[in-house]
Structure 1
Amino acid sequence: MSKLRVNFKKLALMAVGLVCLFATSACSKSSQKNLYQADQQTKTITWGIKSDTRLFGLMNIKNGKSEGFDIDLAKALTKKIYGQDAQAKFETTTITTKIPLLKNGNIDAVIAAMTITPERQKYVDFSKPYFNAGQSLLVKEGSPVKSIADLNQKGRVVLAVKGSVAVANVKKYAPKAKVLEYDDYGQTFTALKSGQGDAMTTDNGILYGIAKENPGYAVVGGTFTNEPYGIAVNKGQKQLLAAINKALSELKADGTYDRIATKWFGDVAGFDLKGAKGE
């Protein structure tokens, strides 16, 4: 892998600093403003979400709206925090834009299949894990690749999304494999279909969504990492973070979380709902 690819994640995170450097007033205003109190006045939370990931957040071409587990959970959290008449607003984000948008105050929180990592915690604060994901592999049915160990040899090629945690994990667990990186999951899966690699890798939940829509492909090998998703808020937004954590616990206790999870994952063979919930 080239140095450019290896350093992509670092460059993306450096971009956050540059955003704040050239938009100091916006970043300062966002960090000083109490978003919990501001949102309480409007009864609205603006969430950063994904629009390219089946089951979590995917654009419905019929109505132009993103749909998925993250979106439904965000709506439930909003109502649990501010009441049944509260509204959730959504802004589409990507791997490289979610933190800058949060730092600049364009969004209040990010719920976008976002893995909690020490590097990201330098820039944002995370809620308790709301989905316990783990990295896995997607292959064509009949592939000789059955686990991450099968990829740890010269000549094997793994496909992943640029800047994702998955890239670093492949380097750790299958250092002999070559990694090709693409801009999004759609491009990555297209590369797998065209035979450019032996396996696609990312979180198991995302891979199950792709496999569900594409007969002939299977998720194999279980999970070889623990990659919990968290809801991100800007540094200093302690009141909003506390409210999100409290609401999340209540949704898990009253059965709302289970209903949402069952809606999106209940018919996916082999998916562990209790494991995803953290039980």
Structure 2
Amino acid sequence: MDSTTPWMRFGALSAAALLALTACGNGNDNGNGTDANGDDAGDGETLTIALNGEEPYSWIDTETGEPTGATIAIAEEIFGERMGYDLQIEEEPTWGNLIPGLTNGHWDVVSAGMSINAERCAEAAFGEPELVYTTALLVPEGNPEGVENFEDLQGTDLNVVAMSGAIEPGWLEELGIEHDTVDSPDDGIDFVQGGRADVFALTAISLETMAGDIDGLEVTDSFIHEFSVGAHAFRSGDEDLVNEFNEHLAELQDSGEYLEIVSEFGFTEDEMPPSDLTAQQLCEEDPAELTEQYAQD
């Protein structure tokens, strides 16, 4: 896809700054997919989209300076080509700032492959499921401690890190595994590479893409701790925008165009969600039951 949409790169916002933001960052007059007169959304209105620097989902290409990634390609196709918005794509490098920035109106949509879970659903609205995730561990080459999953980390004194605001810290806490957090995938990789951490837990495809070829590091085989599916995130109350996005998303998925677009970034049929799975299920149902129902070994 020709990436010609304007964008702005900015640094991480402090928590205090995020709390001070007001709903002035979106291009819609009422933020719900229609303008103040009730006309259809798009058609030259500006939609602000936040990305996070996690390959292969969404990041800024260092060679071209352009936003790219699987979720960005979908956002450009749906919001730009099909819904008619002018897109302003901004980078928020700190994962934990994505939802606060969304809820405080600094951007209209988060396009970062964010997993749907009950905690996040209490703060934001989600489009329908797009990509199934598995988890992996980044370790020194040779995996000297022989860790392959979270259970292997229990009862050890290993220095474990995960990304702040992501789903992995919650899982580690539930299992009683002591850990620290970092702000970004790059930080986690640097911690293991520099010897400040023994293990970095993150989405498997991200670790393979970002660190799989780095000398001295190794990515474990992927595993499923809890069935996890990502989607675009919206402000709560933006039902019209979410519903129109979902209509176009369903068209892309049903036609096979969705897989064709994201396959350019390494995603395969294995990462496509079950056709009967909904965002509402992921928001409301027991994760353990969903894992038992949908997870494939």
TM-score range, shorter chain: 0.7 to 0.9
The answer to whether residue 202 in structure 2 is matched with residue 202 in structure 1 is yes
The amino acid of 1:167's aligned partner reads P
Q: Is the 8 A contact 2:162 2:179 kept in 1?
A: yes
Choose the corresponding residue for 1:278, options 248, 270, 273.
273
Retained in 1: the 8 A contact 2:115–2:230?
yes
In structure 1, the residue matched to 2:120 is 120
2:152 to 144, 150, 153: 150
CA drift of 1:104 comes to 3.5
| Conserved 8 A contact 2:135-2:222 | no
C-alpha separation between the residues in 1 aligned to 2:253 and 2:162?
Answer: 32
Call closer, same or farther: CA 1:103–1:162 in 2, change over 3 Å: closer
CA distance in 2, matches of 1:221, 1:82: 36
Amino acid at match of 1:261: V
Q: Check whether the contact 2:28–2:45 (CA below 8 A) recurs between aligned residues.
A: no
Letter in 2 for 1:172: E
Preserved contact between residue 160 and residue 182 of structure 1 (Cα < 8 Å): yes
**Cα drift, residue 193 of structure 1:** 1.2
Distance 2:169 2:101 in 1: 23
Name the SS of the counterpart of 1:46 in structure 2. Answer: strand
Structure 1 counterpart of 2:106? 106
Contact 1:81 1:244 in 2 (8 A): no
Give per-residue Cα distances to partners, 1:71-100, cap 9 Å, x unaligned. 1111111245325xx543311123233223
Give me the TM-score of the superposition, normalised by structure 2: 0.74
For residue 36 of structure 1, report the CA deviation from its aligned partner. Answer: 1.4
Of 168, 171, 189, the residue aligned with 1:169 is 171
2:121 aligned counterpart, secondary structure: helix
1:192 counterpart = 2:189? no
Higher helix share: 1
Q: 2:51 aligns with which of 44, 49, 72?
A: 49
Give the 3-state SS of the residue equivalent to 2:74 in structure 1.
helix
Aligned to 1:224, the other structure's residue is in SS state strand
Distance in 1, Cα, partners of 2:212 & 2:252: 27
| Conserved? CA contact 1:134–1:228, under 8 Å | no
Instruction: Give runs of ≥4 in structure 1 deviating > 4 Å.
Output: 29-32
Equivalent position amino acid for 1:128 in 2: E
Distance 1:71 1:31, change over 3 A: closer
C-alpha separation in 2, matches of 1:97 and 1:183: 9
Alpha-carbon distance, 1:162 to partner: 2.2
Show CA shifts across 1:182-211 (max 9, x none): 222111111111223332101222222223
Structure 1 counterpart of 2:258, one-letter code: Y
Aligned residues: 250
* Separation in structure 1 between the aligned mates of residue 71 and residue 95 of structure 2, nearest angstrom: 15
Q: Does the 8 A contact of 2:60 with 2:91 survive in 1?
A: no
- Corresponding residue of 1:36: 33
Q: Is the 8 A contact 2:134 2:222 kept in 1?
A: no
Structure 2 equivalent of residue 129 of structure 1: 129
Contact 1:136 1:219 in 2 (8 A): yes
SS in 2 for 1:201: strand
Q: What is the CA-CA distance between 1:30 and the residue it aligns to?
A: 9.3
- 1:146–1:220 Cα contact (<8 Å) kept: yes
**What is the percent sequence identity of the aligned residues?**
22
**What's the secondary structure of 2:89's corresponding residue?**
strand
Q: State the partner residue of 1:90.
A: 89
The verdict on how the C-alpha distance between 1:181 and 1:102 changes in structure 2, with shifts beyond 3 A counting, is closer
- Are the counterparts in 1 of residues 73 and 261 from structure 2 also a CA contact under 8 Å? yes
Give 1:158 deviation, angstroms. Answer: 1.4
Report the residue type matching 1:92 in the other structure: E
- 1:260 and 1:213, CA in 2 relative to 1: closer, same or farther beyond 3 A? farther
CA distance in 1, matches of 2:118, 2:223: 24
SS of 1:169's equivalent in the other structure is helix
Residue 289 of structure 2 corresponds to none
Show the counterpart of 2:279.
none
Residue equivalent to 2:6: none
Q: 2:131–2:231: 8 Å Cα contact kept in structure 1? A: yes
Instruction: Flag structure 2 segments of 5+ consecutive residues without an equivalent.
Output: 1-14, 36-40, 275-297
More deviation, 39-48/161-170: 39-48
